[in-house]
Chains A and B, each alone.
Chain A
Amino acid sequence: GAVVSQHPSRVICKSGTSVKIECRSLDFQATTMFWYRQFPKQSLMLMATSNEGSKATYEQGVEKDKFLINHASLTLSTLTVTSAHPEDSSFYICSAGGRTMSGQYFGPGTRLTVT
């Protein structure tokens, strides 16, 4: 099956700093990548959708200046949490879909802790 990797798996940063999370599709070309966050015992909340070579589409309530998404190639998308605050601490998950795919394949997630 399709494999999606995420790096890092876990990161701790200080309040006010920025953190970059990478999402890679390892064995297929991901025309679309999605970024989710999940709070404890809650559902996956879609943050944004990014298509290769174009600007990301953010869901309502998600600050695009705070969560910068870049999808520069068909195998890589990055999410940068700028000026992170403790309330940004969460589990961030990316997923990817290709042109012929009916669904999404998820990365293993990144646990972000802002102190």
Chain B
Amino acid sequence: DQQVKQNSPSLSVQEGRISILNCDYTNSMFDYFLWYKKYPAEGPTFLISISSIKDKNEDGRFTVFLNKSAKHLSLHIVPSQPGDSAVYFCAARPTGGGNKLTFGTGTQLKVEL
């Protein structure tokens, strides 16, 4: 049962344009969401997070939007850069769940010149 889903396994964007990565979840107990970036043969690195009490969080080129009613979040990267090419995972944490995270299946982003 995949509680966190990233329905697009891959996304290709031109340099300078906006990248939008989507994530859907089914568990209404999730109250904290995170985005991680992962290069091959490396561990994921934390990018940005958002609490369920907010609908937007921005950090430089990265913005995460949360739509609780739709159980949907998205990561916007603008402008996209070639170095952003990586696999992006969204993750969710339930209320009272400690630090245990449930990960999505990932989206491979390729930023082309």
Seen from chain A, the residues whose Cβ lies within 8 Å of a Cβ on chain B are 1, 4, 6, 32, 34, 42-44, 46, 49, 91, 93, 95, 97, 101-109, 111
**Which residues 82-113 of B sit at the A interface, judged by CB distance below 8 A?**
89, 91, 93, 98-106
Determine the chain B residues whose CB is within 8 A of the CB of A4 once the complex forms.
43
With an 8 A cutoff between CB atoms, is B70 at the interface?
no
Contact A103 B43 (CB under 8 A): no
Contact B49 A103 (CB under 8 A): yes
Known: A32-B99, A44-B89, A97-B99. A106 touches B43 (CB 8 A): yes
Contact A43 B106 (CB under 8 A): yes
Report the 8 A-B pairs with minimum CB-CB distance, sorted nearest first: A97-B99, A106-B43, A43-B105, A109-B43, A108-B43, A44-B103, A106-B44, A93-B43
Contact with B41, one of A34, A49, A111 (Cβ below 8 angstroms)? A111
Contact A109 B46 (CB under 8 A): no
Residue of chain B at shortest CB distance from A57: B100
Known: A43-B89, A43-B104, A103-B93. A6 touches B99 (CB 8 A): no
Seen from chain B, the residues whose Cβ lies within 8 Å of a Cβ on chain A are 32, 34, 36, 41-46, 49, 89, 91, 93, 98-106
Question: How many Å lie between the Cα of A42 and that of B49 in the bound state?
Answer: 22
**What total count of A-B pairs have CB within 8 Å?**
61
Question: How many Å lie between the Cα of A108 and that of B40 in the bound state?
Answer: 10
Residue of chain A at shortest CB distance from B2: A43
Determine the chain A residues whose CB is within 8 A of the CB of B104 once the complex forms.
43
11 further interface pairs, Cβ-Cβ under 8 Å (given A102-B34, A104-B99, A109-B43):
A32-B99, A42-B105, A43-B105, A44-B103, A46-B102, A49-B100, A93-B43, A103-B46, A103-B99, A103-B101, A106-B46
- With most chain B CB atoms within 10 A of its CB, the pick from A34, A102, A103, A106 is A103
Residue of chain B at shortest CB distance from A105: B46
Known: A32-B99, A101-B99. A1 touches B46 (CB 8 A): yes
- With most chain A CB atoms within 10 A of its CB, the pick from B89, B93, B101 is B101
Contact A104 B43 (CB under 8 A): no
Q: What would be 28 A-B contacts, judged by CB atoms less than 8 Å apart?
A: A1-B46, A6-B43, A32-B98, A32-B100, A34-B100, A34-B101, A42-B106, A43-B103, A43-B104, A44-B44, A46-B101, A46-B102, A46-B103, A49-B98, A49-B100, A95-B43, A97-B99, A101-B99, A102-B93, A103-B32, A103-B91, A103-B93, A103-B99, A106-B36, A106-B46, A107-B43, A109-B41, A109-B43
